[in-house]
Chain A
Amino acid sequence: MTTDWLQEALFEPGGKAAVPPRRLWGRILSIAEADAAALPRLLEWAQERVRCALLIGVTGAPGAGKSTLIGKLARQMDSSGHRVGVLAIDPSSDRTGGAVLGDRLRMEAGGGDDIFFRSMATRGGRGGLARATVICAQVLAGFGLDRIIIETTGTGQTDTAIAAVSDPVLLVTEPGQGDEIQAMKAGVMERADVIVVNKADLPSTDHFCAALDLAMSARASEVPQILRTTSTSGEGIAELAGWIARRPVGPRSGFTSLSPEAATDYLTELFRVRLRDGFDRTSDDAGSDPFDIVALTTRIDAVIDSRVIGRLTDLDLLEKEVT
């Protein structure tokens, strides 16, 4: 039985929550992904085990180089002593439920090592994440990983869920997407903490960066950092990792317990409120920004049963543990 197996894998005979051996992690994630009956056990374990981890969201259009970049970034973090996990999301077919999960392909050049990598199909999840992404990230944090990188499906503008569950959010772009800058402005670009101009080896990079600067200068709100990378060669990756390491820990950086259902409800509610706010803002209301996810998160936390959501963040703890 799955529950007996899980009990044995996650708890010592005395009942204390333990870190299972690496070879069992994959199976445990499958259970987290699919087995509702096992969730109470898993959450009980997570309650005891989960330490704060940086959840790094990576989004951007298909082919921009997200997986290649993650491969290099993960290795950079691994070599500076972090314990790194990657969750790479690809869409499930609405029609058949099947999926081809191809992100590992780009990660692999260079070999297996200590980095945990898991491909996930969305299985009905929306906004660029799988339904179980948050719970899986939480379980990885429980295994002791302190850097968890999440690659969204890469549908660009609609990959908005990532901003609610990760911090920082990296938006990966490539030169030649000039026309898309306008389109991106209203989407995930609003919530990116850093815009990565990847494929900086391409000749049109300077031109693209100039267009990006122009688009940014028109913005009233905080302007994200812009960094150039060439993920194939690794150029710029150390700088990106350095930027992440130096960045003050934000309010979305950690989490305690969030069941998949709670996470889904949470995100649904988040978008509902955000949408309503957008509609409501008929007059110029300086106090409320419909795109300010952090402010909304705080408000929604108060609305939703605090038992289910748990403390989303504990800043004091984060300051101590995420360095």
Chain B
Amino acid sequence: MQPIRILVGMFGVDQHEVGALAVSSALSDAGMEVVYVGRFQTPERIVSTVQDEDVDVIGISCHSWEYIEYTPELLRLLAENDLTTPVVLGGSVITAADTSDMIGQGVAGVFGPSTPMELIIDDITALAAGRNLRE
């Protein structure tokens, strides 16, 4: 079985890289290949990276409010490009109300700061397995 590939990055001016780096190394320890793209991401850039890198899951670290605008745009662009790659969000700023809003819009998973790493790994593994065309 080939390793799961996951993109990890942050939108726009979100400056908090520590969490994303910690999660990346935990995912790598769990046997995944993490395509770390870091800060300053836009939905357009993420979509083109998803295509080139053929990742199974998109993970966005959210520590500023920008994700509220960028995430729906990302979902729209993915659909427009016939991509079914699941999007998960993680971070400290996502409230319960926003979580259900994001899930309602098509985000596949939201992880708060207290979500245990094992659960994150399990969820990502399940999402990657559900992706079509990947045998």
Interface residues of A (CB under 8 A from B): 1-2, 5, 22-23, 25-27, 29-30, 33-34, 92-93, 96-102, 104-105, 108, 111-112, 116-119, 121, 123
Q: Is the CB–CB distance between B48 and A101 below 8 Å?
A: no
The 8 Å CB contact of A100, one of B34, B48, B133, is B34
Q: Is the CB–CB distance between B36 and A101 below 8 Å?
A: yes
Interface of B is mostly: mixed
The distance from the CB of A310 to the nearest CB of chain B, in whole angstroms, is: 26
Q: A118 — which chain B residues lie within 8 A by C-beta?
A: 52-53
Indicate whether A100 sits within 8 Å of B28 (C-beta atoms), given known contacts A25-B52, A27-B133, A119-B35. yes
Q: B48 — which chain A residues lie within 8 A by C-beta?
A: 112
Q: A34 — which chain B residues lie within 8 A by C-beta?
A: 2
B122 proximal to A (CB < 8 A): no
The distance from the CB of B46 to the nearest CB of chain A, in whole angstroms, is: 10
Q: B84 — which chain A residues lie within 8 A by C-beta?
A: none
Q: How many residues of B contact A (CB 8 A)?
A: 30
- In the bound complex, what is the Cα–Cα distance between A104 and B50 (angstroms)? 12
Q: Which chain B residues (111-135) contact chain A, with CB distance < 8 Å?
A: 133, 135
- In the bound complex, what is the Cα–Cα distance between A297 and B75 (angstroms)? 50
Q: Which chain B residues (1-26) contact chain A, with CB distance < 8 Å?
A: 2-3, 5, 24-25
Interface of A is mostly: mixed
Q: Is the CB–CB distance between B36 and A104 below 8 Å?
A: yes
User: Would you give 16 A-B contacts (Cβ < 8 Å), ordered by A?
Assistant: A23-B81, A26-B54, A30-B54, A34-B2, A98-B31, A98-B32, A101-B34, A101-B35, A105-B38, A108-B40, A112-B48, A116-B52, A117-B52, A119-B53, A121-B3, A121-B33
- In the bound complex, what is the Cα–Cα distance between A322 and B31 (angstroms)? 40
Q: Which chain B residues (31-68) contact chain A, with CB distance < 8 Å?
A: 31-38, 40, 44-45, 48-54
Q: Is the CB–CB distance between B30 and A96 below 8 Å?
A: yes
Indicate whether A26 sits within 8 Å of B36 (C-beta atoms), given known contacts A5-B133, A33-B2. no
Q: A92 — which chain B residues lie within 8 A by C-beta?
A: 3, 33
Q: B52 — which chain A residues lie within 8 A by C-beta?
A: 25-26, 116-118
Q: B69 — which chain A residues lie within 8 A by C-beta?
A: none
The distance from the CB of B25 to the nearest CB of chain A, in whole angstroms, is: 6
